[in-house]
Amino acid sequence: MRSLLTLLVLLSSALLLQVASGDEASPVERGRASSDATSPDVAPATPPENDLDHLPKGRKFPPFGVFHTSDEVSPGHVLIAPLSSGFTYLLDNDGKIVHQWEANCRPGQSAYLLEDGSLLRAGKVDNFGQFPATTGSGGRIQKYDWDGHLTWDFVSSSAYRMSHHDIEPMPNGNVLCIVWESYLREVAEQAGRNPDRLVGDVLWFEAIFELKPKGLDEAEIVWKWSLRDHVVQNFDETKDNFGQPSEHPELADINYMLRPVADWVHMNSIDYNPDLDQIMVGSRSLSEFWIIDHSTTIEEAKGHTGGRSGRGGDLLYRWGNPEVYGRGTDDDRMLFNPHDANWIPKGLPGAGHVLVFNNGIAQTEQHFSSADEITLPLLDDGTYLLEDGKAYGPSDLTWTFEDPGRLFSPRISGAQRMPNGNTLICSGTQHLLLEVTPKAKIVWMYRNPPRFYEPPKSNRRGQSSGPQISPSDLTKEEQDALRIEGGVPLEEGGTMFRVVKYPPDYAAFKGRLPKGK
């Protein structure tokens, strides 16, 4: 039987952040502003811990639930969907559940609360086919009303396609999703892929679908963009798409590969800007995000002309790793395995800028995570400044929060700007949420409990999915000491893909939550 010690070992890898009580941040590399406990302006304060007096001396748990708050935290409710649970929770600033939904499948991965009170969520199908059961697979998009009734359940997968990671609700009621499209080796080679860089017999291209929900379980594809139509290669002039990547920053180099897998791009986020009618997608594997014109027709999206920009489905902008398109080196890289690239919405501080969770990679310059904000070089015509032969700017960050040695999530995670100018950060693998001021002061912290499995789970190959704790491994006293009163149950905790916070006056809450909640 796994003991309480096992749980402590598991949790010890989740960083216990200290509360930065000072106002000013310390500037570090690349113009960054961070929480720095070594700065004379930032005095560390140890947050309260859930002590268990009956445990051997010195053995403590990280705090679960809200373990630091202040009057500077933004009001509102946080929507969280633990990745190992079928529940989605709406939490108040005290970490208490004010509403919840129970779905018939696990998340796959994101969830949103719509203005009509509906929950829009990505879900996981039962049969993943050639696609992995992990790494963001989904294949299902669902909508539940406020009372938990399933009103739409669309299977967005087939033998060679699967929606994954993220979805995006649109103002017209449609839903954007990112989709893996699997093509055979022959197709990839004809497109210019170096055969030596193919792993197995398929290559996955990314696509974006706009879905119009129909009935209870159907959808119409009303718009589509495919990466297959916008690649370049300098490997074989006898194949399609031949050209120099450095001369075509509007195209993706089909042979640039940081990970030897079929999923060579690994998009993990999608956002929509209704004022520009543009889409933003993020790539973990290429360590950059792209902006694409959505005003095109389906046919125009396949080509290089048309739409408001006049550039069809070509990339209007890209940022994070100019080495990918031959206009920089590793020294110019700004993003490292990023997640959740998103426009700051109109009406919020920094509106029109981009926020992104910069996950970081061990043994690199960015060996920690940060929430980064950049100012886009947007031109009046809706395109973006690019000087001849140079990479897209900016070369400096507008704002950032980092805490090296304490804040690090190698995957998942996100960042969201609040109406009061604060930024809500989700460090997903640390089970951690924190809200910080523009001056990098931490004003609120919440830790989701790790999930306790009963019984332990196995993956689809029948193998154990890693060390897990069952409630039966702990005494009732130990369990009670860990539980968050009125919060997420221990049996439904776990990592978070990202979270979304909604202000108290959000339309979904009108007539549904008590005033002041």
Q: What is the pLDDT confidence band of residue 145, given thresholds at 50, 70 and 90?
A: very high
Nearest-angstrom CA–CA distance, 319 and 391: 8
Overall average pLDDT of the 156-178 stretch: 97
Q: Please identify, in words, the CATH class of the domain defined by 75-453+470-509.
A: mainly beta
pLDDT per residue as tens digits for the range 348-403: 999 999 999 999 998 788 899 999 999 999 999 999 999 999 999 999 999 999 99
Q: Report the alpha-carbon angle 316-317-318, nearest 5.
A: 140
Overall average pLDDT of the 170-175 stretch: 98
Q: Report the alpha-carbon angle 285-288-293, nearest 5.
A: 120
Q: What is the pLDDT confidence band of residue 61, given thresholds at 50, 70 and 90?
A: low
Nearest-angstrom CA–CA distance, 221 and 213: 9
pLDDT per residue as tens digits for the range 449-503: 887 654 444 444 344 444 445 555 667 787 777 889 999 998 899 899 999 999 9
pLDDT per residue as tens digits for the range 207-257: 999 999 999 999 999 999 999 999 999 999 999 999 999 999 999 999 998
pLDDT at 516: 55
pLDDT at 129: 87
**Domain ranges, ordered by start, for the chain:** 75-453+470-509
Mean pLDDT of the chain: 86
pLDDT at 58: 40
Residue 51, token pair as written in the block: 């002590």
pLDDT at 26: 37
- Nearby residues of 59 by Cβ (< 8 Å), 6 or more positions away: 8, 52
- Which H or E run includes 68? strand 65-68
Whether residue 315 is predicted with pLDDT greater than 70 in this model: the reply is yes
pTM: 0.88
Percent of the chain with pLDDT over 90: 74
> If DSSP codes are grouped into helix, strand and coil, which group holds residue 5?
helix
Contact status, residue 430 vs residue 410, Cβ threshold 8 Å: no
Q: Residue 149: is it exposed, middle or buried by C-beta count within 10 angstroms (0-12/13-18/19+)?
A: exposed
Percent of the chain with pLDDT over 70: 83
Write the DSSP string, 450-516: PPBPSS--B-TTS-B-S--B-GGGS-HHHHHHH--TTS--GGG---BS--EEE-TT-GGGTTTS-TT
Nearest-angstrom CA–CA distance, 487 and 91: 8
Beta-strand relationship, 432-436 and 278-283:
unpaired
Nearest-angstrom CA–CA distance, 332 and 289: 15
Overall average pLDDT of the 25-40 stretch: 38
Whether residue 282 is predicted with pLDDT greater than 50 in this model: the reply is yes
